[in-house]
Amino acid sequence: MKSAFTIALMLLLSSFSVHADEVKRTPLSPDHPLLGTWRIDLPDVDCFEMYSLRANGTKRTTSRLEIGESVFSLSPYPNRNGFYKWVDKIVKSNGKPDCMGDISEVGHVATTYIFLHPDGTQFLLCFEQNLNACIGPFVRQDSI
C-alpha cells in the first residue's frame, strides 16, 4: 500500500505536466544559490533522486535506474514571496524507470516553484507559489 506522501508526490508530479515546444534555457550566474547537486530521499519507495543544476541552464537527473538531461529556465532571484520560478524541459532520457516506476517522456515540460531555505542547504519544490503543495526537502550535496 502506498503512503500518503507517495500518493501526494505522484499527484504533484503528474499535475504540473504540460507540453511546450521550447523552453528558453537560462544561463545563470556562477553564484546562483540553486546551482549544484541536490538530493531528495523517498523512503516510501526506498529510493532517492539527484538533481545537478549547472550554470549553463542544464540539469542532470538520476532517479533509480533513470538518467535524464533537461534544459531549464530559472529566475535569477526569488519573487517577493520567496519563490524562484523553474521551467524544466526533458531533452534526454535513458528510457529506464524512475523512483515511481515511470519513464520520463522526452519533451515533457514542467513549471514549478522553488522555496530555498535561508541557509541555502535545502529547498522545497512546489506546484504553486505557496507552501501547501510542495515536496522535499531537497538537500544540497555539495558545499556552498
Q: What per-residue confidence (pLDDT) applies to 75?
A: 95
Tens-digit pLDDT profile for residues 108-137: 999 999 999 999 999 999 999 999 999 999
Tens-digit pLDDT profile for residues 98-110: 999 999 999 999 9
Q: What per-residue confidence (pLDDT) applies to 3?
A: 41
SS3 sequence, the chain?
CCCHHHHHHHHHHHHCEEECCCCCCCCCCCCCCCCEEEEEEEHHHCEEEEEEECCCCEEEEEECCEEEEEEEEECCCCCCCCEEEEEEEEEEECCCCCCCCCCCCCCEEEEEEEEECCCCCEEEEECCCCCCCEEEEEEECCCC
The CATH architecture that domain 4-140 belongs to is: Beta Barrel (2.40)
- In this prediction the pTM is 0.84
> How would residue 25 be classed by pLDDT, with cut points 50, 70 and 90?
confident
- Domain chopping of the chain, boundaries: 4-140
Q: What per-residue confidence (pLDDT) applies to 142?
A: 80
Mean pLDDT of the chain: 87
